[in-house]
Amino acid sequence: MRALILLATLLIALASPVCAGDDVAAAQNVIRSQEQAFSHDDAAAAYSYAAPAIHDMFPQADIFMDMVQHSYAPVYRHRSFEFGEGRAADGMVVQRAHIVDDNGEAWEALYTLEQEADGTLKITGCTLLKAGQAV
């Protein structure tokens, strides 16, 4: 009986990193999809990847897009956008992105995503700092 419990525990432990990796990959897909929507000026699509709390703060897609254009310019338009480290736990994902803006300046973005009741991941926030800037 102990061997069976040990085996079950081991299988669960081995499966967890795979699930976390799947969550990180799913989060990257959501972020990349929103990034592509910004590049095509598709406010409705970009807004669809935002969590309900973001919708509460910005009740219309065009208001959300205006905020991103003015407050997150490197996310809205950039030369490069590459993923860094990502971590998942308890229905939440934290994902870093390395961005070079249109002026050639380097930025670090830290995205947070949350799993919704329907199983989808939505972006709950993005913190943007110039590369090398202290938090």
- With a cut of 70, say whether residue 69 has pLDDT above it: yes
Boundaries of every domain in the chain = 2-130
pLDDT tens track for 13-40 = 333 343 567 999 999 999 999 999 999 9
Confidence of residue 118 (pLDDT cuts 50, 70, 90): very high
In three-state secondary structure terms, 51 is coil
CA distance 26 to 77: 23
CATH topology of domain 2-130: Nuclear Transport Factor 2; Chain: A, (3.10.450)
Element (H, E) at 77: none
> With bands split at pLDDT 50, 70 and 90, how would you rate the model's confidence at 11?
very low
The pTM of this model reads 0.83
Give the span between the Cα atoms of 130 and 132, in whole angstroms: 6
The percentage of the chain sitting over the pLDDT mark of 70, rounded to a whole number, equals 84
Residue 95 Cα distances to 20, 43, 57, 62, 124, angstroms: 12, 22, 22, 25, 12
